[in-house]
Structure 1
Amino acid sequence: MATILITGASDGLGRALAEDLARDGHQLLLHGRNAARLAEVAQVTGGEVFSADLSSLRDTRRLAAEITARHDRLDVLVNNAGVGFRAGSDLRELSADGHELRIAVNYLAPVLLTRELLPLLRKAAPARVVNVASVGQQLFDFDDPQHERGFTQADAYCRSKLALISHTVDLAAQLEEAGITVNAVHPATFMATAMTEASGLPADEPLEKGVAATRRLVDDPGLAGVTGAYFHSFDPSAPSEPAALSLAYRQRLAAVTQDLLAAAGA
């Protein structure tokens, strides 16, 4: 059975995915911030608990170090943890490092966590990275990377998720020879989760659909060689902004990403 790390496993899609995978006996590493909820998931799944605040890049690195200290391989990394939005809200929040919160948690944290865990993924190859993205997508403003102008939470969320898709394509190309596949998925639209409820928008699709769409990328043998792809639920798709997949855009995003990580000492 595979060793699988799921970030954001204490609630919503992460928890449901963990429970689904546990039924097939996978060894689960469960990340979350809420200790009580995480303990409940661990009790149900038999998973191992790792607590960290992904709004802090320092804590993100600590999480990777703790996992590396306890395990010598990682078969699958599911970057699921995220911060949603409140519809119509222009409340701009900052991370522990002073970055705009959604860029920090939804994008910078999975980029850094994946980078730090690459040695474990390489040891387990063939291994997989699954990035939970969204159909909500907006191009990054390279002249305003911290989204200080015209801010809305929804726009920031969409920017972070499209950036994650662009990074997915870039990282997949870098790791193809290492036997590590990297794919992104929009699991389902406004699933019945606490994040959707907090947005103020009505639930649209069942959580079970999102779990099934994500699970395919985790362990479906038929997708073993697929990498650098974005899936809209079960279907290969293209981002709403095709420019985000261009080499020029990806290179510029990578440079800005490195600057943001370096500014936080990561």
Structure 2
Amino acid sequence: MSHKLFDLTGRVALVTGSSRGIGHAIAAGLAAAGATVVLNGRDPQRLESARATLGADAVAFDVTDEEQVTGAVEELTTRHGGIDILVNNAGFQHRQPMLDLALADWEAVLRTDLTSAFVVGRAVARGMIDRGRGKIINICSVQTDLARPSIAPYTAAKGGLRNLTRAMTAEWAGHGLQVNGIAPGYFDTELTSALVADPEFSAWVTGRTPAGRWGAVADLVGPAVFLASDASAFVNGQVLFVDGGMTAVV
């Protein structure tokens, strides 16, 4: 039997970018812990397929569009009475050396991977503050701390997301919110399948990771449930690295 501290029964959780991959795995984990889960994505067909698979609610909106975000949060508040848990997971990668990187591509990554967490987080936090409670989990990355060639905008966005997590804590913890982050290492997902299949890159990942393997999306469920639950009632402004030890060694 699960400990009652981790029971999410009666909580409503919105997970952005959850039609597949890490977001979908976290959403499924929160649902298994008892939460009423709302999936999000921009592709209505893919989102509906994910919703049917999980048996959850779903709402399609662009996390970078403030008007769409406001409308979706109002709709969900009417439908469910409020959002108790927000997981800011939406994001994407753009690989290109900085000297060749177009400003528009830089801005697109920053807008999706960092600014969206501010836009969605602020919209949801208003209701949380009114109710005096809430959980916000920002999905960071090992690139919150580390850098690799050709992913400058992603590295900058994920580094900024750590400090956005701290800024949210500074302003909202006194209102009963806990705001934290999860920083996955290298995970085997649909979006990284080409890298997993690359023998040279995969060997680098497993050699660089003390645990000696790629992460599986199931490895993120426990940390997400912990940060979404009463078990983390006095945890605020932290980023939990789930990376098999990658950032712990040189």
Other-structure match for 1:173 = 170
Give, in whole Å, the separation in 2 of the partners of 1:233 and 1:138.
Answer: 13
Instruction: Point out the more displaced range, 226-235 or 122-131.
Output: 226-235
Q: State whether structure 2 residue 51 is matched by structure 1 residue 51.
A: no
Other-structure match for 1:133 = 140
Give, in whole Å, the separation in 1 of the partners of 2:30 and 2:144.
Answer: 28
Task: Verify the 8 A CA contact 2:76 2:83 in the aligned structure 1.
Answer: no
Task: Verify the 8 A CA contact 2:77 2:83 in the aligned structure 1.
Answer: no
Alignment TM-score, normalising by the size of structure 1: 0.72
Aligned residue for 2:137, secondary structure, equals: strand
Of the candidates 194, 197, 212, which is equivalent to residue 193 of structure 2? 197
| Structure 1 position 227, deviation (Å) | 0.5
Aligned residue for 1:129, secondary structure, equals: strand
Q: State whether structure 2 residue 74 is matched by structure 1 residue 77.
A: no
Structure 2 unaligned spans of 5+: 1-8, 206-213
Query: CA-to-partner distance for each residue in 1:18-42, whole Å, 9 max, x for gaps?
Result: 2222223311111111222211221
Give, in whole Å, the separation in 2 of the partners of 1:43 and 1:124.
Answer: 31
Q: State whether structure 2 residue 111 is matched by structure 1 residue 101.
A: no
Alignment TM-score, normalising by the size of structure 2: 0.77
After TM superposition, list the pairs within 5 Å mapping 1:218-257 onto structure 2. 218-219=228-229, 221-233=230-242
Of the candidates 25, 38, 54, which is equivalent to residue 34 of structure 2? 25
Aligned residue for 2:151, secondary structure, equals: helix
Structure holding more helix per residue: 2
What letter matches 2:135 in structure 1? R
Q: State whether structure 2 residue 19 is matched by structure 1 residue 10.
A: yes
Q: Between Structure 1 and Structure 2, how many residues are aligned?
A: 220
- Structure 1 residues 84 and 193, CA gap change in structure 2 (3 angstroms): same
Instruction: Point out the more displaced range, 28-37 or 114-123.
Output: 114-123
Give, in whole Å, the separation in 2 of the partners of 1:100 and 1:153.
Answer: 15
Task: Verify the 8 A CA contact 2:129 2:172 in the aligned structure 1.
Answer: no
Structure 1 unaligned spans of 5+: 140-151, 239-266
After TM superposition, list the pairs within 5 Å mapping 1:208-223 onto structure 2. 208-219=218-229, 221-223=230-232
| Structure 1 position 88, deviation (Å) | 5.3
**Percent pairwise identity:** 25
| Structure 1 position 70, deviation (Å) | 2.9
| Structure 1 position 129, deviation (Å) | 0.5
Of the candidates 99, 112, 122, which is equivalent to residue 119 of structure 2? 112
